């Protein structure tokens, strides 16, 4: 019995584009064929003139995360509703170990946050912030619990940062366990040094955040961790890459056949460091707080380099690093001192529209490359493939129907995320999510001309995904 028949769509995978029909039975794709023979589906969606993509996979979100003296504005309900409305059907969030806590405590805590709230499927990485023998041993249990990737921070000295001795210990242990190590590569010690200097000079406004974290410090940290990963002989995944020099080191390592993967995020492809407003009125300069994130926004030259990295395959994933804080009440914590502005911006809902519009319609990447960066490669790198990340018979029916002709203008109030501004407010583009199907259930659909992208799913229907180690 077919539950949903998607007819006449342009089906896009990471390597093919073809016309066809998709049958969904229960939670799975039951057939993909040029012309379906099914006569009695419960539900038919006419996808003529639309693209049909595998649901997006966003491997970098921070929902309900205590950070910078506050908690991120989106929790697992609002964050996953926003993700779904933006064409994402799976997220992987970070369970953060507290400095004195165990990994299990962190995982239990994040399960409590997500369970009963997430509307799409989810999984976790474990952010390891304190390394000792018991933590290294415990990693074994974490893998058995379905968490096969860890994140380490070379930044945020005094809170999340680990030193390079700790980093190497985790890399060695990751090799034994076959798990993937993700690294936030910035030189936290040098940043702390520069920050003290800037503050002592009275530079407290948001633009000083960017001055405290120059691209060179991302480059040097990236080079060092690549060397450490080579020493350990284990794969490495660099998160939220923003700097051209760092990309150069990644390319060199890849040319030497080292397994180094890189992710970048829309903010580093679409927004420049001009947002930090070094000059102008106090209000204008303060508005730069909306863009305080780490690494900070960079110059046009870095942006061009990142697009080059996507085109030549040296960057293999685009995630959002969705870490939303309200401008009012949260970013304001750093009104008189940029170091107190909570770091992070939203992005889980706008990822596909921006990438399609500027990437595909803007002729920077092909439609297949978009699917690869947005869904297929993340699924492969993080042990979800072929269950997720592909339109094929037997895979989960996580499907996005996308109208490439629709024009859009981003307005914060129209989005579903729970945050009082959008960093892309006013951005005009082309292409919009129309339907989203998550494990066989329609969770986003157009209910009227005025409400063309409406969440119709249910709180708590997202399931935890136990991942297995695989990088097909």
Enumerate binding residues for ligand URP (CB under 6 A).
62, 184, 240, 293-294, 321, 323, 343-344
Minimum Å distance from CB 28 to Zn ion? 32
Closest contact distance (angstroms) between CB of 156 and ligand URP is: 7
Query: Which of residues 186, 321, 372, 403 is near Zn ion by CB under 5 A?
Result: 321
Query: Least distance in Å: CB of 238 to Zn ion?
Result: 10
Cα–Cα dist 403/47, whole Å: 9
Q: Report what 401 binds from Zn ion, ligand URP, none; CB cut-off 5-8 Å by kind.
A: none
Could you say which residues in the range 159-188 bind Zn ion, by CB under 5 A?
A: 184
Q: What are the Cα distances from residue 39, in Å, to 42, 59, 254?
A: 10, 38, 50
Tell me which of Zn ion, ligand URP, none is bound by residue 343, counting a contact when its beta carbon lies within the kind-specific cut-off of 5 to 8 angstroms. Answer: ligand URP
Which C-beta is closer to Zn ion: that of 382 or that of 402?
382
- 431, 408 in Cβ contact below 8 A? yes
Please name the residue that has the structure tokens 């799975």: 28
CA distance 432 to 448: 15
The crossing angle, in degrees rounded to 10, of helices 215-232 and 244-255 is 20
Residue 90: contacted member of Zn ion, ligand URP, none (CB under 5 to 8 Å, by partner type): none
| Closest distance of CB 60 from Zn ion, Å | 5
CB of 436 to ligand URP, least distance (A): 25
Q: Min. distance of Cβ 153 from Zn ion in angstroms? A: 6
Q: Residue 161: beta bridge partners?
A: 153
Please tell me what DSSP assigns to residue 296.
Answer: P
Q: How far is CA 346 from CA 114, 426, 444, in A?
A: 18, 15, 20
DSSP-derived secondary structure letter, 15? S
| Pair 302, 394: CB distance under 8 Å | no
C-alpha 352/C-alpha 429 separation (Å) is 11
Identify which of residues 342 and 429 has a Cβ nearer to ligand URP in the complex.
Answer: 342
Instruction: Give the DSSP letter of residue 297.
Output: P
Give, as ranges, the residues between 91 and 120 that touch Zn ion (CB under 5 A). none
**293 interacts with, out of Zn ion, ligand URP, none, CB within 5 to 8 A per kind:** ligand URP
CB closer to ligand URP, 152 vs 323: 323
Interactions with Zn ion, residue window 183-212 (CB under 5 A): 184
Spatial distance between the Cα atoms of 376 and 96, rounded to a whole number of angstroms = 26
Q: Is 441 in the site for Zn ion (CB under 5 A)?
A: no
Of 58 and 372, nearer to Zn ion (C-beta) is 58
Residue 67 or 455 having the CB closest to Zn ion: 67
Distance CA 309, CA 244 (A): 9
In eight-state DSSP terms, residue 369 is: H
Query: Closest approach of Cβ 294 to ligand URP, in Å?
Result: 4
Give the other-Cβ count within 10 Å of 108's Cβ: 12
Measured from the CB atom, is 4 or 292 closer to ligand URP? 292
DSSP state of 396: B
- 70-71 and 66-67 beta bridge pairing: antiparallel
How many residues bind Zn ion (CB under 5 A)? The answer is 2
Cβ nearer to ligand URP, comparing 161 with 415 = 161
CA neighbor of 289 nearest in space, from 319, 321, 333: 333
Minimum gap (Å) between residue 108 Cβ and ligand URP: 21
What is the per-residue burial (b if ≥16 Cβ within 10 Å, else e) of 332-371? bbbeeebbebbbbbbbbbbbbbbbbbbbbeeebbebbbbb
Q: Which stretch binds Zn ion (CB under 5 A): 25-33, 76-84, 314-322, 451-459?
A: 314-322
| SS3 at position 123 | strand
**Least distance in Å: CB of 240 to ligand URP?**
6
Nearer to ligand URP, 50 or 184 (CB): 184
Instruction: Point out which residues bind Zn ion (CB under 5 A).
Output: 184, 321
């Amino acid at each position: 019995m077919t539950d949903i028949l998607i007819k006449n769509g342009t089906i896009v995978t990471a390597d093919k584009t073809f016309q066809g029909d998709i049958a969904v039975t229960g939670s799975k794709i039951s057939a993909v064929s040029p012309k379906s023979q099914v006569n009695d589906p419960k539900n038919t969606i006419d996808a003529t003139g639309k693209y049909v993509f595998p649901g997006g996979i966003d491997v970098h979100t921070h929902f309900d995360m205590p950070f910078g003296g506050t908690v991120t504005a989106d929790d697992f309900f609002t964050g996953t509703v926003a993700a779904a409305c933006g064409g994402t059907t799976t997220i992987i969030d970070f369970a953060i170990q507290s400095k004195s806590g165990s990994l299990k405590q962190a995982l239990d805590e994040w399960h409590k946050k997500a369970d009963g709230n997430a509307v799409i499927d989810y999984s976790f990485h474990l952010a390891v912030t304190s390394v000792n023998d018991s933590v290294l041993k415990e990693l074994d249990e974490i893998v058995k619990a379905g968490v096969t990737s860890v994140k380490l921070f070379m930044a945020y000295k005094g809170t999340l940062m680990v030193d390079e001795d700790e980093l190497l210990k985790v890399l060695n242990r990751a090799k034994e366990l076959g798990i993937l190590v993700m690294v936030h590569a910035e030189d936290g010690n040098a940043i702390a040094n520069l920050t003290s200097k800037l503050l002592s000079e009275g530079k407290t406004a948001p633009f000083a955040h960017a001055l405290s974290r120059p691209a060179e410090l991302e480059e040097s940290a990236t080079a060092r961790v690549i060397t450490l990963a080579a020493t350990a002989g284990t794969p490495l995944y660099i998160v939220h890459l923003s700097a051209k020099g760092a990309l150069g080191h990644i390319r060199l390592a890849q040319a030497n056949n080292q397994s180094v993967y890189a992710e970048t995020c829309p903010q580093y492809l679409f927004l420049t460091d001009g947002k930090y407003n070094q000059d102008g009125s106090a209000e204008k300069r303060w508005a730069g707080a909306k863009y305080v994130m780490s690494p900070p926004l960079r110059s046009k030259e870095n942006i061009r380099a990142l697009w080059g990295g996507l085109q030549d395959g040296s960057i293999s994933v685009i995630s959002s690093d969705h870490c939303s804080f309200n401008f009012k009440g949260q970013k304001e914590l750093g009104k008189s001192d940029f170091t107190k502005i909570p770091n992070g911006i939203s992005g889980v809902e706008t990822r596909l529209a921006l990438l399609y519009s500027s990437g595909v319609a803007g002729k920077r990447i092909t439609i297949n490359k978009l699917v690869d960066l947005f869904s297929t490669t993340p699924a492969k790198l993080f042990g979800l493939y072929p269950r997720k990340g592909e339109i094929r018979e037997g895979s989960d029916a996580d499907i996005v129907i996308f109208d490439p002709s629709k024009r859009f203008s981003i307005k914060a109030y129209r989005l579903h995320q729970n945050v009082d501004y959008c960093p892309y407010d006013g951005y005009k583009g082309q292409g919009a999510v129309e339907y989203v199907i998550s494990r066989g259930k329609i969770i986003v659909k157009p209910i009227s001309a005025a409400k063309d992208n409406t969440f119709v799913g249910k709180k708590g229907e997202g399931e935890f995904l136990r991942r297995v180690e695989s990088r097909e």
